[in-house]
Amino acid sequence: MKQTMKGLLAGVALAVLATPALTTAAFARDITIDLAGEPSSLDPHMQWNPDSYYVYRNVFDNLVTRDNAGEIVPQVAIGWEQVSDTEMAFTIREGITFHDGEPLTAEDVVYSVKRITDPEFGSPQLGQFNQIVDATAEGNVVTLTTDGPYPALLAQLVKLSIVPQHVVEEVGAEAFNAAPVGSGPYAFEAWNRGVDVRLTRNDAYWGEAGPFEAAIFRAVPDAATRVADLQAGTADLVVSIDADAGAQLSGNPEVQLLSAPTERVGYVGLNLDKPPFNDLEMRKAASLAIDRQGITDGLLQAGEVPMSQMSSPAHFGYNPDLPLFEYNPEQAAEITVANPDLAGTPATLATAPVFDQRIVQAVQQMLNDVGFNVSISMTDMPTYLGIVRSEPAENSELSFGRWSCACQDADGIAYPTLHSDSSWSRVNVPELDTLLEEARVSLDPEVRQAAYNEVHQIVRDNYYLLPMYQAAVLYGATAELQFEPTANESMFLNRMSIAE
Amino acid sequence: MLRFLLHRGGQALIAAFGVVTLVFFIQRLTGDPTALLLPETATQADIEAMRATLGLDRPLGVQYLDFLRDMVTFDLGRSFVQNAPAWDIIASRIPQTLQLAAGALAVALLIGLPLGLLMALTRGRAVSRWIMGLVLACQSMPTFWSGIMMILVFGVWLRWLPSSGTGTLAHLVMPSIALGLLSLATYARITRSAVLDELGKDYVRSARARGVGIRRLVSRHLMRNSAIPVISITALEISQLLAGAVIVETVFAWPGLGLLTVQSIAARDFVVVQAVVLLGAFVTIFANLAADILYSVVDPRVRLEGK
C-alpha cells in the first residue's frame, strides 16, 4: 500500500513538474490584450465576432477603412468612383506587400471579393456582400458590379479584408486559418489554441505600423479576472468590462477606463397585431412608462445614450434633431386607467440570456407600474430567435433586442427591423416600406437622409417600436496607453501609442 | 475470464451507443444552430444555404445514421466555427486539464492527509476544532469566489503569483489550490475518521502498551491501515476534479477542456460541445469497464457473479 501511495505521489509530482518552463519574458514595448474569448477564426472571410476581428484586422488590410472619427477613408484602395448606378471602380494602392514578400495586386482584391461572395465557400458574412455580382481587374483598377444601386456598398467594404490569392490557393482554407498571411501592420506569429494569438510588427508596412514590437491577444473569459490582470500589470488592455468592474478601477492611478458608444441600438419590439399594443394609445403609454435615461445612467452606466430612432450617431441616416421620448409615468397611468381591460391583457416580453437582464426586468417593472400586465419569457437563443421571427399570431407581445449591422448605415438597422419584407420586422406600413426602399437604392446621400428622417419621425409618432439606447463598450487600459475606441469596436494596434 | 470480458465489453458498448443517441437527439431538441452562426442581418435564404452547408436540411434519420457512422469511425466532426477537426481541438486541451487535475490532487493529498491525521490525533482539543473550521471553510467556499479572492490577494495585491494564464509552474499554483480545496476537505475528513477508527482498535492499544511511540505508530501502522478508504475515494475525486475544472479554468483562463467547453458554448460551436460531452461519457464508461476488469483480476468472486 505504501508503494501505491508513493507511486501515486510520484506521478502527481511528475505531472506537475512537466509544466512547460518559463516562457520568454515580455519585451517592454509589447502589448498584452485580454479578450473575452479566443478568436473563432483568423481567416477574415469566416467568422466575424469581435474576438476574431480584434485580432485579424491587424493582420489584414481592408479595401477601405474608417478613421477614428468614423469617416470612410482609403486603405488598400486609394480612391474610388461611381462609374454607373451599379458599378464602382477602385484604384488599388501600389507598393503593398503581403507578409511573405509578394505584392498585393488588383487580382488579390478580385479574388477576395469572389471568395467571400461564393455561396459554396459558406461565409457567415455572405449576406453583407452578396449584392456584389461581379468583380473585375484592369491594371490597378478593380470594378465591382452590384445587382442594383447600392449606396451602402462602401460601408460594407470597410469589412472586406484582402487575402493573398497565391497563399490561400496553395495551402487551402484550413491551413490559411491556422497561419494567416496578410498585408497589415502586424504579421501572424503563433496561435496557441485556447491560450493566445501572437503577432509581430510588420516593419515593411506601407503605413504607420504602430509602437509595439509584438502583440499578445489572450483569452480570459472571466471579466473579474481580466480586471485583475490589468490591476496586476499582466495585461495592458482588457475588453468587455461592465460598469461595476469599471467602478473598481476608478481611483487607481495606474489604469484608465475607456468608453465608446457603439453602433448597437437596444430596443423593445412591439407586436402590432395583438392586444394591447395593436392600439396606438397603449404603445404611447408603454413608451411614456419607460425611463430610458434612468436605464442608461442608473443601470448601464458605461456611456450608453438614450435613443428615439432605429439608428445612432454612428450611423449614416441618423437624425440629430429628433427629440427624445418623454418619460411621464403619470400620463402613462392615465392612459391605462382609461382602458384597464386592454392594458391588463397579459403580454409576454421575450428575451434570451445574452441580453442584459437588468434592462429587461426594469422594463417589465416600469410597464407593470403603470398598469400593464407584462411577464418575462426567457428562453435559449435559438428559441428566442424563433419567436421574434415568427408570424404575428405566434409572436410575443413584446421583445427586447439589440441590433447591429456592423455597417454604420441606417439601412442595416432600420430596414430589417421596420420593413414588412424582413422576418425580423413586425411593422407592416406601406409608407415606411416605400421610404426604406427609396433610401436603400438611392445614390444621393441627401435623398437618403431625407427618407430616413421621415422614417424615424413616423416610427416615433406611431410608436411602431420603442428604440431605447445606443449601447457602449467599456475598456480598461494601463494609464500610459493611448487608445481611442471606435463605434465599430475595432482595435487597430497601429492607431495606439504609449505616452512617455 | 473471456466470457466475463465479452459480457462487460458488450455492456460498455450498449452504454456508449445510448450516450451517442442521447447526445444526438438532445442537441436537436435545443434548436437549430444555424440562426446563431449567422449575423443578425441574414435573410431566410442565407439561413437555408447555411443549413445545406452543415447538412441540417437532410431528414433526421439520415443525419442520425451519418452520425453513427462517424462515431464508429471515430470521426467527431469538424468545428464549423474554428474550421478544424473537433478531435484536434480537444486533443490540444487534454494535457492542460491533466496538469491542473494533477496539481489539484497534489494539493488535496499533501495538505488534506496531514490535516486529517492531525485532527484525529488532537481530537477534543482546540487545535482539532480550529482545523475542522478551516476544513469546513474550504469545503463551503464556492470556487468562483475563492479563485477571484486568491487572484486579488496574491496576483493583484501581493503580486507573488501571475493573476491568470498559463506557461510557468507559478501559473499552476493558484488554479491547483482553488480546484484542490474541495478535495482537500474531503481527504481531511475521510482521513480523520479512518484514523480515529484505527485508533480505537486493539492492536493500537497493544502497541501503545508495548511502548511504541506515536511517531512510529503513525508511520508504521495508522497511515497504512487508513489508506484504503483514501485510495478508493481518489477514483471518485478525479472525476470531481474534471467537473470542477470548468469553473476554475474559466476564472484563471487556464486553457483546458473546461474552458474549451465554456468557450464552445459561448461561440455556439455545437460540434465541439458534442465532442467534449462524448469524450467525458466515453472516459467514464471505459474507466468503469477498466475498474470492473481490475476487480475481477484482484477478486475472482466478482468474475463468477458477473456471469
Confidence of residue A455 (pLDDT cuts 50, 70, 90): very high
Cα maximum dimension of chain A: 86
Q: Between residues A306 and B85, which one has the greater pLDDT?
A: A306
Report how many domains make up chain A. Answer: 3
Query: Does A221 contact B224 at a Cβ distance shorter than 8 Å?
Result: no
User: What are the tens digits of pLDDT across the range A375-396?
Assistant: 999 987 777 887 888 888 888 9
Q: In this structure, are A366 and A331 located in the same domain?
A: yes
Better pLDDT: A128 or A166: A166
**Across all residues in chain B, what is the average pLDDT?**
82
What integer pLDDT is reported at residue A6 of this predicted model? Answer: 46
Q: What is the pLDDT of residues B161-214, one digit of tens each?
A: 998 888 888 999 999 999 998 888 888 988 898 888 888 888 888 888 888 877
Residues A91 and A77 both lie in one domain: yes
How confident is the model over B223-251, as pLDDT tens digits?
A: 777 776 777 677 677 777 777 888 999 99
* Residue B292 in this model has a pLDDT that exceeds 50: yes
> Can you tell me the distance from the alpha carbon of B106 to that of B98, in angstroms, rounded to the nearest whole number?
12
Residue A283 and residue A226 share a domain: no
pLDDT surpasses 90 at B44: no
Please check whether residues A490 and A370 belong to one and the same domain: no
Torsion of CA B159, B164, B166, B170, to 10 degrees: 30
Distance CA A196, CA A219 (A): 6
Predicted pLDDT at A315: 92
- Both A150 and A190 in a single domain? no
Q: In which domain, by residue range, is A231 found?
A: 2-59+173-260+473-499
Give the pLDDT confidence score for residue A141 in this predicted structure. 93
Q: How confident is the model at residue A164 (pLDDT cuts 50, 70, 90)?
A: very high
* CB-neighbour burial class of residue A120 (10 A; exposed 0-12, middle 13-18, buried 19+): exposed
CATH of the domain at A91: 3.90.76.10
Q: What pLDDT band is residue A4 in, cutting at 50, 70 and 90?
A: very low
pLDDT of amino acid A317: 93
B298 CB-contact burial (10 Å; exposed 0-12 / middle 13-18 / buried 19+): exposed
Alpha-carbon distance of A23 to A44, in angstroms, equals 29
Shortest CB distance from B31 goes to which of A13, A124, A383? A383
State whether B43 and A127 contact (CB < 8 Å). Answer: yes
Closest residue of chain A to B269, computed from CA coordinates? A40
Question: Above 50 in pLDDT, residue B139?
Answer: yes
Q: Strands A31-35 and A237-238: what pairing?
A: parallel
Distance CA A343, CA A373 (A): 7
Query: Is pLDDT above 60 for A21?
Result: no
DSSP labels, A137-176? EETTEEEEEESS--TTHHHHHTT-B---HHHHHHHHHHHH
* A465 in Cβ contact with A310 (< 8 Å): yes
- The alpha carbon of residue B110 is apart from the nearest alpha carbon of chain A, in Å, by 9
Reported confidence tier of residue A16, pLDDT bands at 50, 70, 90: very low
Contact A290, A238 (CB under 8 A): no
pLDDT (tens digit per residue) in A384-432:
887 888 888 888 999 998 888 888 899 988 988 899 888 788 888 999 9
A89 and A18 in a common domain:
no
Considering only the beta carbons, identify the residue of B82, B96, B159 that sits closest to A40: B82
- Tell me if chain B has a CB within 8 Å of the CB of A9: yes
From A84-98, A274-288, A433-447, B13-27, the region with the lowest mean pLDDT: B13-27
Residues A248, A371 within the same domain: no
Average pLDDT over residues A452-460: 95
Residues ≥6 apart with Cβ < 8 Å to B32: A382, B51, B56
The stretch B98-127 carries a mean pLDDT of 89
* Same structural domain, A306 and A446: yes
Q: Which residues of chain A make contact with B224, given a CB cutoff of 8 A?
A: 1-2
For residue range A329-383, list pLDDT tens digits in order: 999 999 999 999 999 999 999 998 888 899 999 999 999 999 999 999 998 777 7
C-alpha cell at B64: 442520425
Q: What is the bridge-based pairing of β-strands A373-378 and A346-351?
A: parallel
Query: Is the Cβ of A126 closer than 8 Å to some Cβ of chain B?
Result: yes
pLDDT of B24 over the 90 cut: no
Q: Reply yes or no on whether the pLDDT at A167 is more than 90.
A: yes
- Whether the per-residue pLDDT at A24 is higher than 60: the answer is no
Interface of A with B in 127-156 (CB under 8 A): 127-128, 130
In this prediction, residue A359 carries a pLDDT of 93
CATH 1.10.3720.10 domain range(s) in chain B: 95-255
Residues A189 and A118 in one domain: no
Residues A331 and A422 in one domain: yes
Mutate to test the interface with A, among B82, B105, B174, B250 (most CBs of A within 10 A): B82
Highest average pLDDT, of A111-115, A496-500, B299-303, comes from A111-115
Percent of chain B with pLDDT strictly greater than 90: 10
Give the domain-ending residue among A164, A189, A210.
A164
pTM across the whole model: 0.80
Q: Assess whether pLDDT exceeds 70 at residue A10.
A: no
CATH class of the domain comprising B95-255: mainly alpha
Q: Assign residue A179 the CATH number of its domain.
A: 3.40.190.10
Task: Examine the domain organization and report whether A78 and A148 are in the same domain.
Answer: yes
Q: Are residues A37 and A152 in the same domain?
A: no
CATH of the domain at A377: 3.10.105.10
Q: What is the pLDDT of residue B298?
A: 62
Tell me: pLDDT of A269 over 90. yes
What are the Cα distances from residue A87, in Å, to A111, A135, A160?
17, 10, 17
Q: Does the CB of A220 have a partner CB in chain B at under 8 Å?
A: yes
CA A288 to CA A326: how far, in whole Å?
Answer: 6
Which among A164, A183, A217 is the end of a domain? A164
A20 has a chain B CB within 8 A of its CB: yes
Pairing of strands A31-35, A497-498: unpaired
The confidence score (pLDDT) of residue A230 equals 92
